[in-house]
Structure 1
Amino acid sequence: MSVTVRALLREDLRDFGGYKSARSEALAGEIWLNANESAWTNPRDVGGQLRRYPSPQPEALRARLAQVYAVAPAQLLIGRGSDEAIDLLVRAFCVPGQGRIVIAPPVFGMYAVYARLHGAEVIEVPLRDGAEGLCADLPGLGDAAVEKGATLVFLCTPGNPSGELLALPAVAALAQRLRGRAIVVVDEAYIEYADAPSATTLLEEHDNLAVLRTLSKAHALAGARVGCVIASAPMIDALRRCQAPYPVPQPVADAAQAALEPQALALTRSRMDAVREARARLQDGLRGLAGVRRVYPSAGNFLLVRFADAGAAFAALLAAGVVVRDMRAMPQLGDALRISVGTAAECRRVLAALGASLADGAP
């Protein structure tokens, strides 16, 4: 057991073995009668895959993900998007009703949701709004974790909705400071859009790092719900014991593996280039519109935009058939919308709708 897992895993889970499903053991046979499955295939199950329970961790997909992310398979746990990984981390490393996590709002809401469902306290160190954008205060996050005894610190890079890309040396410094005290969770849901190195490159030297990845965004598999957490092998083992037995159906695993084949990855990389180009054009177009107060820099596939009248801008886009994310209920963002970077035609439609509305002064 690593220093981090030994120090931070809930004491009542240290000897917990989790649920051992019928697929947990490596058994071979021609007639499978160990899982109480139906003896007949459902008429709608054309491929005949759905009658059987899937593997708790699809090994072929796990091996391929490990190869793509340049880690060992033992360092990776597949789950339902990266959301499940957040839930597992809170379950494993926060004592119910007593645990604490640290976040930097405005940020992805599920960190706080899972913490509160678990009875853990959420400690907030807000993003700082300055010349460089909405930026996380990593030293401040570290101070809060130490002072409050938090066991998890969540970082989002590129930030959602801030778009901020964190510098890996700063992440490494935070992990070093919190070693034995807290796990630094680096959510990289949008990292492909940034064309930047992953925090997985820091894992060898920091056993209190956990990196979240997903196929929902860059790989266009949001409906499949496939993601993973990457960390030290002992941490992965602890999280696996907290996981439900069959997180990924076999057809979903097959689709995910196909999305990771070399030809598919090459297409994804070319699409990332296209998104970065479209993001720059959309950013320039928005900055040229009257009524746009600020367009934040972004390393993701979205832009955070402040408006003189965000309600009117939101209504104008809806009237033009364009749905964007209303951020006005989030802290610090009472005048902001988040706009995903779509196709070139979709971006032109956004600019046209806002240009007409803001020029007229009416939705």
Structure 2
Amino acid sequence: MPASTESARLRERDPSAPPHEPDLRHHGDAEVRGAGGELTDLAVNVRAGTPPAWLKARIAASLDGLAAYPDGRAARRAVAARHGLPAGRVLLTSGAAEAFVLIARAVRARRPVVVHPQFTEPEAALRDAGHEVGRVLLAERDGFRLDPDAVPEDADLVVVGNPTNPTSVLHPAAVLARLARPGRTLVVDEAFMDAVPGERESLAGRTDLPGLVVLRSLTKTWGLAGLRIGYVLAAEDTVAALERAQPLWPVSSPALTAAEACCAPGALAEAAAAAEDIAVHRAHLLARLGEFPQIRVAGPAAGPFVLIRLPGAEEVRAGLRARGFAVRRGDTFPGLGPDWLRLAVRDGATTDRFVAALGAVLG
């Protein structure tokens, strides 16, 4: 379907949809690239102050083994144990983003569907692989919550985020499970699930749902975006098919070391504590945003970021940048428009500085 026709169809279903095809390749790092550390980064959802010193030391120690080819067996076992799964259900990837490319190449789908607004790389990867991609557009009036009945019955590949980037909505596991069925691949992107206290609503350990593929990232909580490490949890035949689409040695030895280290009990406890801190900091951010009557917050938010709507958001983003804060534009997400911004959750002091800048911009 041509892009213009797709846009028109989406606007018929949701008048708030933007009248353009968004840039699926725009990501939050573009907001701070080249800034030289001069901006407080609220555009990228990597946890501040990471990676921790102990993790950097583990990664540094792995450099002595760079002469050998990477061996992912230990890291694979560690990830499997972390989720109570056999190692054959785990595939390590160069960041969760690589998994989208593998799925687009290896999964035979006649009618792939992506639930939006969400991370745009799944759709971009599917289009690059030659697929015609359908969209299920969640609406602000419904709190961007998923109705499984909105997904076409004949969709044989469905991609949804949980909690969803950029809306920060956490879909109930029972709702997502209704999408699983024989003959369909259900991809649930849980890149931010470890930032949710208790990882409630996760499907990562489920083996009873046909066609389920869960994606995880270690780059957000642990500050490893530059190292690139994530993984896939799926049935063994699906893992084998994705692995055949990978190049040899796709994950570096330092990244494998990081994966193993981040699945250790002490690291899991640290991540759980960080998730509780994020919830506290997010509550503070939401309370401060509530001081501005012109701002609407999508939600309830459950991730390490919040999505807001306000008039003139593009000008506000420019004004915040002039005052030292980078925030993520929202109009590159299908289903959103120029009035949306995404804000990463930071500590209370940073939030208070940001709110002061926001107040100055809004006058």
TM-score calculated relative to the size of structure 2:
0.78
SS of residue matched to 1:200: coil
In structure 2, what is the equivalent of residue 94 of structure 1?
108
In structure 2, what is the equivalent of residue 75 of structure 1?
89
In structure 1, what is the equivalent of residue 35 of structure 2?
none
In structure 1, what residue type is equivalent to 2:69?
Answer: Y
Of 245, 250, 254, 1:251 maps to: 254
In structure 2, what is the equivalent of residue 40 of structure 1?
none
Distance 1:206 1:311, change over 3 A: same
Q: How many angstroms does 1:200 deviate by? A: 2.4
2:254 & 2:62 partners in 1: Cα distance?
A: 11
Of 262, 266, 275, 1:272 maps to: 275
In structure 1, what is the equivalent of residue 119 of structure 2?
108
In structure 2, what is the equivalent of residue 174 of structure 1?
179
**Structure 1 unaligned residues grouped into runs of 5+:** 1-44
Would you say 1:185 and 2:182 are equivalent positions?
Answer: no
Distance 1:122 1:51, change over 3 A: same
Counterparts in 2 of 1:1-363, with a 5 A limit? 47-55=63-71, 58-94=72-108, 99-130=110-141, 133-141=143-151, 144-146=152-154, 150-175=155-180, 178-180=181-183, 182-195=184-197, 196-203=200-207, 205-330=208-333, 331-358=335-362, 360=363
Kindly tell me the number of residue pairs found equivalent between the two proteins.
Answer: 300
Q: How many angstroms does 1:295 deviate by? A: 4.5
Cα contact 2:88–2:239 (8 A) shared by 1: yes
Distance 1:296 1:172, change over 3 A: closer
Q: How many angstroms does 1:293 deviate by? A: 3.4
In structure 2, what is the equivalent of residue 9 of structure 1?
none
2:357 & 2:298 partners in 1: Cα distance?
A: 17
Q: How many angstroms does 1:256 deviate by? A: 2.8
Q: Sequence identity, in percent?
A: 33
**Structure 2 unaligned residues grouped into runs of 5+:** 1-60
1:259 & 1:294 partners in 2: Cα distance?
A: 32
Q: How many angstroms does 1:333 deviate by? A: 2.9
In structure 2, what residue type is equivalent to 1:93?
Answer: V
Q: How many angstroms does 1:263 deviate by? A: 2.3
Distance 1:282 1:46, change over 3 A: closer
TM-score calculated relative to the size of structure 1:
0.78
In structure 1, what residue type is equivalent to 2:68?
Answer: R
Distance 1:123 1:258, change over 3 A: same
1:75 & 1:192 partners in 2: Cα distance?
A: 19
Q: How many angstroms does 1:173 deviate by? A: 1.7
Distance 1:173 1:69, change over 3 A: same
Cα contact 2:95–2:229 (8 A) shared by 1: yes
1:248 & 1:61 partners in 2: Cα distance?
A: 11
1:210 & 1:303 partners in 2: Cα distance?
A: 26
In structure 2, what residue type is equivalent to 1:167?
Answer: P
2:178 & 2:144 partners in 1: Cα distance?
A: 20
Instruction: Tell me which structure has the larger Cα radius of gyration.
Output: 1
Q: Which has the higher contact order (CA 8 A, sep 6+)?
A: 2
In structure 2, what residue type is equivalent to 1:156?
Answer: G
Cα contact 1:103–1:122 (8 A) shared by 2: yes
1:219 & 1:51 partners in 2: Cα distance?
A: 26
Cα contact 1:78–1:227 (8 A) shared by 2: yes
